[in-house]
Chains A and B, each alone.
Chain A
Amino acid sequence: MTGTKFGCGIGLCGACMILINGSPTRSCITPVSFAVGKRVTTIEAIGSTAAGKKVQAAWAALDVPQCGYCQSGQVMSAAALLAINSNPSDSDIDRAMVINICRCGTYPRIRNAIKRAASAGNKDA
């Protein structure tokens, strides 16, 4: 699998984000033993979850990525946020997404895309 990215390697940047039992987890500092018996989701499968699918659609619609390296991680954190909070405020988004950094500075589009994904979810409901 090539979707999950190796960034800093010391748990700072969030490019390596995966979900373990639905919680965003930095895979670069997580031993395999921690994941035994738990449900692991990577960027390859996030599109098959309801929240992940909406996040990816919003990401594509708003052309969020720039160089793209951090974006696998951003999508994972955004999907994890929307799975537990279907209508996040700006501060909810800030709190959830602070664990992912982006050197290109795509933060405004990330925030807009999360809101777009949230409103797409609320329309379905």
Chain B
Amino acid sequence: MKRRDFLKISASSGLLLAIGLPVRAEVRDTLTTNAAFAPNAFLRIDRAGKVTFVSPMIEMGQGTYTSLPMLIAEELEVDVDKVAIEHAPADDKVYVNPAIGVQMTGASKSIRGFLRPAAPSRCNGAHHAGDGGRAALEGRPVHLWRREWHRRALCERAQA
């Protein structure tokens, strides 16, 4: 069996399984209203497909407004020019750089901190932020939900 076929079968059988599972309120709201899809604090995709990345790292010539959106674009498989940037508010819990432990830009830790959650106790990360959004762009909300759900489950299991 080719990998692609396997994925197709997994996805379709997954749809059946998903029906029986309780849909979380936030996912249900996303599916039934015109609200932007926001799988986490870093990513927003509106109904027109506009991608907004909320960057927790400042830009002062280091290139974080280039490099971090590139991670999002890669995960979503969209052109990096299509990723708009919004600067994150100060929030040491949500937007903490996991590699440093505070919301601070520096020490060459922007990519290291947000490529993958560096500390096992954190499940954020720009790469993961983009991960759940791709299916939304492809119009596959249930699959998207499952993917995001799996990601969180894996991340949370890694913490335990």
Q: A residues within 8 Å of B by Cβ?
A: 63, 66-67, 69, 102-105
Contact = CB atoms under 8 A, between A and B. Distances in A.
A103 B60 CA distance: 8
Contacts, number: 22
Contacts of A69: 60-61
A31 B84 CA distance: 41
Contacts of B61: 66-67, 69, 102-104
Contacts of A103: 60-61
22 contacts: A63-B84, A66-B59, A66-B61, A66-B65, A66-B66, A67-B58, A67-B59, A67-B60, A67-B61, A67-B65, A69-B60, A69-B61, A102-B61, A103-B60, A103-B61, A104-B59, A104-B61, A104-B63, A104-B65, A104-B66, A105-B63, A105-B66
B84 to A, nearest CB: 7
Interface of B: 58-61, 63, 65-66, 84
A7 to B, nearest CB: 11
The dominant DSSP class at the B interface is loop
A83 B61 CA distance: 29
A34 B93 CA distance: 54
A104 B55 CA distance: 15
Given A66-B66, A67-B60, 16 more contacts: A66-B59, A66-B61, A66-B65, A67-B58, A67-B59, A67-B61, A67-B65, A69-B60, A102-B61, A103-B60, A103-B61, A104-B59, A104-B61, A104-B63, A104-B66, A105-B66
